[in-house]
Amino acid sequence: MNVAGGAAERLIGRWDRLVEANPAAEVIDTLLRGVGQVMFQNNPVTGLLFLVGIFVNSPKLGLFALLGVAVSTATAFLLRADPTLIRNGLFGFNGVLTGIGLAVFLQFDPLLIAYVAVGAAVSTIVMMALANALAGWDMPALTAPFVITTWLMLFAIYSFGHLVPTPLIAPVAVEPGAPVQTALRSLPFGGAAGATLPNLANSVFTGAGQVMFQDNAWTGFIFLVAILVNSRVSAAFAFVGSILAMLTAMALGGSGVAIYHGLYGFNGVLTAIALGGLFLMLTWRSAVYALIGVIFTTVAFAGFSVLLSPIGMPALTAPFVATTWLFLLPKAGFRALEPVPMGEVSTPEQVREAQTGRWRGPEHGPAPGTAP
Amino acid sequence: MNVAGGAAERLIGRWDRLVEANPAAEVIDTLLRGVGQVMFQNNPVTGLLFLVGIFVNSPKLGLFALLGVAVSTATAFLLRADPTLIRNGLFGFNGVLTGIGLAVFLQFDPLLIAYVAVGAAVSTIVMMALANALAGWDMPALTAPFVITTWLMLFAIYSFGHLVPTPLIAPVAVEPGAPVQTALRSLPFGGAAGATLPNLANSVFTGAGQVMFQDNAWTGFIFLVAILVNSRVSAAFAFVGSILAMLTAMALGGSGVAIYHGLYGFNGVLTAIALGGLFLMLTWRSAVYALIGVIFTTVAFAGFSVLLSPIGMPALTAPFVATTWLFLLPKAGFRALEPVPMGEVSTPEQVREAQTGRWRGPEHGPAPGTAP
Amino acid sequence: MNVAGGAAERLIGRWDRLVEANPAAEVIDTLLRGVGQVMFQNNPVTGLLFLVGIFVNSPKLGLFALLGVAVSTATAFLLRADPTLIRNGLFGFNGVLTGIGLAVFLQFDPLLIAYVAVGAAVSTIVMMALANALAGWDMPALTAPFVITTWLMLFAIYSFGHLVPTPLIAPVAVEPGAPVQTALRSLPFGGAAGATLPNLANSVFTGAGQVMFQDNAWTGFIFLVAILVNSRVSAAFAFVGSILAMLTAMALGGSGVAIYHGLYGFNGVLTAIALGGLFLMLTWRSAVYALIGVIFTTVAFAGFSVLLSPIGMPALTAPFVATTWLFLLPKAGFRALEPVPMGEVSTPEQVREAQTGRWRGPEHGPAPGTAP
């Protein structure tokens, strides 16, 4: 990174000057940050790499991600939300997820474009609603706006003949004690089954990819690199979160196919980033706390999935939202942890530096590229 | 309206004097306002016309509406809730809906009367609970007390042999991609199927009627007239809300039978009234915002219905409550919208007049009959 | 009680001196209070008797109760929660219930011990989260941390091959109007069916036992005696709550087997204790209010059970939590009731005495043994 770092820093500096001078560039920068914020990274380069990762796997989903981020950000602009929040991409990430989420679970149709546009617009309204509702506890909305909006719009499709679900939507009748195939393997079956190194690696990287519904280990790898550009600590927690979620699911005997395809991992990735130095000051205790959060998130993923199995609907990132809210809400109640005030959330590195006094950054937003 | 207006105004003036002098008339006035508040109309004439509309369709449901409003209002009185709130009918409307809702979905039995009485009493407790819980955000409880109370009491009936559901309760196994019959038609089949003018008109008016579970276009028509007595703006939004909800359901391919019988409309009617000048100052932007709210409410109705389909239970007005809460909670976060403080909510007309300074009304409660 | 009272008081005095001097005794005292707090009794003798009651019925469940209370209390200590709250057992009771709850519904396996430990630790985090979230309304978390944690961990088990549910987990397809066997009887069938005195007594006492999942009338009897040690009023409300819940279920035609085994009773027992003089000052009006709460809790138990029947999961104490929250939230909104500030909650007797001025106790925590 250090060798490439100099060249990258020069490029970023040039981009920053362009953004200040050119409104079109500012719009692009805002939308890229919106994409980056899907994993809490207020950084246009991270957002760009996220898009690269999505397009590598599926240009169609990439276009829906762009539609989502554009409509949700434009909605915030038209409703005159706080310009600083818009500029930091906080009205973009739920739109990205709503766009991809609806396009993954519903077959393409021109009507789907309008459906996604409505969903992305509503995700911005729900974002502002939750931000306001949670302000008294100084708590983040996380991806709850995406979950609420997309859940209602997905559940609805059984009632609507003009929108058809993809085969990913499949109601399942639960059966107590039914055996679970625990051997790691891909679907359709290919490669050796079991806890081989390729299978484990596929699970870990696809776990990162599935945060944006990308069933692709390379995409997941690009996502992790994209986070690394903005924060080493967050990238490390994302990686460890995916591993620990996989191990938790394996220890409990989760479906090997689901584990292989990263379905047990993506919520753990998000919980690990959120609790790992971002909303709680990074210490040894908070790191262990974050790991317990990842374990519980993995169980909660199975729990939400079962709850929705009679209608065959996905848990989305609800397990992450629920666990992270519950783990952050204690706030000052646990004196072993130090919550980061919402106005000072940037990267784990900057928060620690600001606190230890070695570096005094701006209170809002990171200084992209300067952190690590 | 203007010709009849003079005579009506004199009648209302006489009634107002009677109410001040006679405690029995005051009780009746309070109960009628409770009925009117089902659609946010703090007006005894509106409440009276609502009752007329219900009795035209079903005297049985009319009696249960009376039982509900009486018990819920009496409970508030016995528990010594704020007399002004009681007087404005705010402890009556959830009782009305609980009474009709339980009587529509459960077969008649003497036990049902006791069951409704308990439900109506509890709806008042839940109303006070939510009013207190939401006070910090200056948010209304809407019909959430009815939804919470009635959901729990309806879900329960599978466990109770002494209460039998009507055929309206029917569990459905969801099936992805199953075809939906989209042609508008009545059940049992009669008249021409399809988007004919009579069918569209039936859908729009019954959409208003279904706010109180009345599957009857004439009842819906009377309801709209009843709203018109108190506020032209609210009546217009109710009408447009029902039309837009119908069109949304048709565009997405909803069940033609459900659309014909107004099931896609009633939540949209309520959302349209709430967001259309009542809790948000009426402007062009807030009107568009209200219409987006109606569209999302319609989708949310399908979403809640599917979520409850394994146990065959109705969505009630949960789609309206969820959407309206989410659309109101942003409050000052969206500077393009002007939220009306809860203490100043009356009719869209009075709120605008108070704000533009042409008319200075009392801060609490409408002046019935003077508005339009 | 008066004859034994003197000897008991001397023993308790000796224990109190030991606790002050010996850290190990202090730990034991803390854990016993944690067990006592399952039914709001901050009293080590009550906790000890609760454990006796559990071990009488099932030593296995007794051990899981101990594991739960130990891990959840230790977690609070490690995270440095308020020592006074820890000392009063407020981080123990959710762990007790999580421990027993998981062990009742899942077959034994060494993995279950780790699963319970994670659950107990998370229950403490959720407890602190809810305590903080509810502080603004001065509301108690009740057993919601147990319900949230245990629900997610139980729902999950269909996905996990290494944990197998017991036969108590059984999905049921709902069928409107299906007949319900209402005659009280045990399972497996034994003894006379119907509302005989032994059957009624079994229902009432087992209703108390089922608060901690103990299907045993003697255990329930010991639980009631254990409460009596700390508060006559709470014991009376627990007893009356169990009776009224049983009668409500019988009046509505609930399953006779479920009623016999106390399944309709345990939520009512908890609601009766909570609303009966503990969180609301005891008066005739609040007593009637508490009884309406018990009736609604019983209906809500059926409602939650039906809602979860497609996945065959238990309602746990959610009906109690939901009802008690809704009945307490009105706070000062109902001037007929006097809410007890959270900091002054101890026993109904002490709260009344403190208020009437006859006795001035410490503001936090009861003085064990002196109450009755």
Stretch A4-24: mean pLDDT: 88
Rounded to whole angstroms, how far apart are CA atoms B36 and B23? 20
* pLDDT tens per residue across span A196-233: 999 999 999 999 999 999 999 999 999 999 999 999 99
Predicted local confidence at residue B156, as pLDDT? 98
Instruction: Give chain C as a 3 state SS string.
Output: CHHHHHHHHHHHHHHHHHHHHCHHHHHHHHHHHHHHHHHCCCCHHHHHHHHHHHHHHCHHHHHHHHHHHHHHHHHHHHCCCCHHHHHCCCCCHHHHHHHHHHHHHECCCHHHHHHHHHHHHHHHHHHHHHHHHHHHHCCCCCCHHHHHHHHHHHHHHHHCCCCCECCCCCCCCCCCCCCCCCCCCCCCCCCCCCCCHHHHHHHHHHHHHHHHCCCCHHHHHHHHHHHHHHCHHHHHHHHHHHHHHHHHHHHHCCCHHHHHCCCCCHHHHHHHHHHHHHCECCCHHHHHHHHHHHHHHHHHHHHHHHHHHHHCCCCCCHHHHHHHHHHHCCHHHCCCCCECCHHHCCCHHHHHHHHHCCCCCCCCCCCCCCCC
Place of tokens 């620990």: A244
Stretch A106-117: mean pLDDT: 98
Predicted local confidence at residue C357, as pLDDT? 61
Q: For chain C, what percent of residues have pLDDT higher than 90?
A: 89
Nearest to A160 among B174, B175, B254 (CB): B254
Nearest to B303 among A152, A165, A167 (CB): A152
Rounded to whole angstroms, how far apart are CA atoms C138 and C136? 6
Predicted local confidence at residue A363, as pLDDT? 44
| Interface ipTM | 0.93
Name chain C contacts of B155, Cβ cutoff 8 Å: 302-304, 306-307
* pLDDT tens per residue across span C187-221: 888 889 999 999 999 999 999 999 999 999 999 99
CB spacing of A80 vs B302 below 8 angstroms: no
Name chain A contacts of C130, Cβ cutoff 8 Å: 329
- Residue A369 sits at φ, ψ, to 5 deg, of 90, -20
CB spacing of B292 vs A118 below 8 angstroms: yes
User: What residue of A is the nearest CA neighbor of B330?
Assistant: A129
Name chain A contacts of C306, Cβ cutoff 8 Å: none
Predicted local confidence at residue B23, as pLDDT? 95
CA distance C317 to chain A (A): 18
Nearest to C299 among B125, B126, B156 (CB): B156
User: What residue of A is the nearest CA neighbor of B309?
Assistant: A311
Predicted local confidence at residue A356, as pLDDT? 73
Q: For chain A, what percent of residues have pLDDT higher than 90?
A: 89
Tell me if C57 sits within 8 A of C219, measured CB to CB.
yes
Predicted local confidence at residue A4, as pLDDT? 63
Predicted local confidence at residue C310, as pLDDT? 96
Stretch A253-279: mean pLDDT: 98
Q: For chain C, what percent of residues have pLDDT higher than 70?
A: 94
Stretch C95-112: mean pLDDT: 98
Predicted local confidence at residue C3, as pLDDT? 58
CB spacing of C336 vs B78 below 8 angstroms: yes
CB spacing of C182 vs B165 below 8 angstroms: no
User: What per-residue string of b and e applies to B247-274 under the rule 16 or more CB within 10 Å gives b?
Assistant: bbbbebbbbbbbbbbbbbbbbbbbbbbb
Q: Given a cut of 60, is residue C359 above it in pLDDT? A: no
CB spacing of B306 vs A310 below 8 angstroms: no
Touching subunits of A (3+ CB pairs, under 8 Å) are B, C
Q: Please state, rounded to an integer, the average pLDDT across all residues of chain C.
A: 93
Name chain C contacts of B72, Cβ cutoff 8 Å: none
Q: Which of C92, C99, C79 is nearest to A290 (CA)?
A: C79
Touching subunits of C (3+ CB pairs, under 8 Å) are A, B
CB spacing of C159 vs A335 below 8 angstroms: no
Name chain C contacts of A329, Cβ cutoff 8 Å: 128-130, 132-133
CB spacing of A156 vs B303 below 8 angstroms: yes
Q: Given a cut of 90, is residue A359 above it in pLDDT? A: no
pLDDT in single tens digits along all 372 residues of chain B? 455 668 878 888 999 999 999 999 999 999 999 999 999 999 999 999 999 999 999 999 999 999 999 999 999 999 999 999 999 999 999 999 999 999 999 999 999 999 999 999 999 999 999 999 999 999 999 999 999 999 999 999 999 999 999 999 999 999 999 999 999 999 888 889 999 999 999 999 999 999 999 999 999 999 999 999 999 999 999 999 999 999 999 999 999 999 999 999 999 999 999 999 999 999 999 999 999 999 999 999 999 999 999 999 999 999 999 999 999 999 999 999 999 999 999 999 998 888 776 444 444 444 433 333
Total residues belonging to chain A: 372
**Reported confidence tier of residue A3, pLDDT bands at 50, 70, 90:** low
Q: Please state, rounded to an integer, the average pLDDT across all residues of chain A.
A: 93
Name chain A contacts of B337, Cβ cutoff 8 Å: 79
Nearest to A79 among B258, B296, B334 (CB): B334
User: What residue of B is the nearest CA neighbor of C139?
Assistant: B133
CB spacing of B174 vs A171 below 8 angstroms: yes
Question: In a mutagenesis test of the A interface, which of B172, B174, B286, B304 is the best target, namely the one with the most A β-carbons within 10 Å?
Answer: B174
Q: How many CB pairs under 8 A join A and B?
A: 127
Q: Given a cut of 70, is residue C369 above it in pLDDT? A: no
Name chain C contacts of B125, Cβ cutoff 8 Å: 326-327, 330
User: What residue of C is the nearest CA neighbor of A251?
Assistant: C162
Q: Which residues of A touch B (CB under 8 A)?
A: 78-82, 111, 115, 118, 121-122, 125-126, 128-133, 136, 148, 151-165, 167, 169-171, 310-312
Predicted local confidence at residue A351, as pLDDT? 87
Please state whether A18 falls in left (phi above 0), alpha (psi between -120 and 50) or beta.
alpha
CA distance B298 to chain A (A): 9
Q: Which residues of C touch A (CB under 8 A)?
A: 78-82, 111, 115, 118, 121-122, 125-126, 128-133, 136, 148, 151-165, 167, 169-171, 310-312
Predicted local confidence at residue A357, as pLDDT? 62
Tell me if B369 sits within 8 A of B45, measured CB to CB.
yes
Predicted local confidence at residue C358, as pLDDT? 47
Predicted local confidence at residue B357, as pLDDT? 61
Predicted local confidence at residue C254, as pLDDT? 98
CA distance A133 to chain C (A): 12
CB spacing of A158 vs B304 below 8 angstroms: no
CB spacing of B156 vs C300 below 8 angstroms: yes
Q: Given a cut of 70, is residue C309 above it in pLDDT? A: yes
**Reported confidence tier of residue C355, pLDDT bands at 50, 70, 90:** confident
- CA distance readout (Å), B8 to A292, B11, B28, B368, C110: 69, 5, 18, 11, 79
Name chain B contacts of A162, Cβ cutoff 8 Å: 182, 251-253
Nearest to C136 among A136, A255, A331 (CB): A136
Q: Given a cut of 70, is residue C27 above it in pLDDT? A: yes
Predicted local confidence at residue B167, as pLDDT? 95
Query: Cα dihedral angle (C157, C158, C164, C167), rounded to 10 degrees?
Result: 110
> Quick one: DSSP state of residue B339?
B
If DSSP codes are grouped into helix, strand and coil, which group holds residue B279?
Answer: coil
CB spacing of A177 vs C155 below 8 angstroms: no
Predicted local confidence at residue C24, as pLDDT? 96
CB spacing of A310 vs B310 below 8 angstroms: yes
Tell me if B172 sits within 8 A of B312, measured CB to CB.
yes
Question: In a mutagenesis test of the C interface, which of B152, B307, B313 is the best target, namely the one with the most C β-carbons within 10 Å?
Answer: B152
Question: In a mutagenesis test of the A interface, which of B247, B328, B334, B338 is the best target, namely the one with the most A β-carbons within 10 Å?
Answer: B334
Name chain C contacts of A333, Cβ cutoff 8 Å: 81-82, 128, 131-132
Q: In sequence order, which residues have a C-beta less than 8 Å from that of residue B12 and are 6 or more positions away?
A: B45, B368, B369
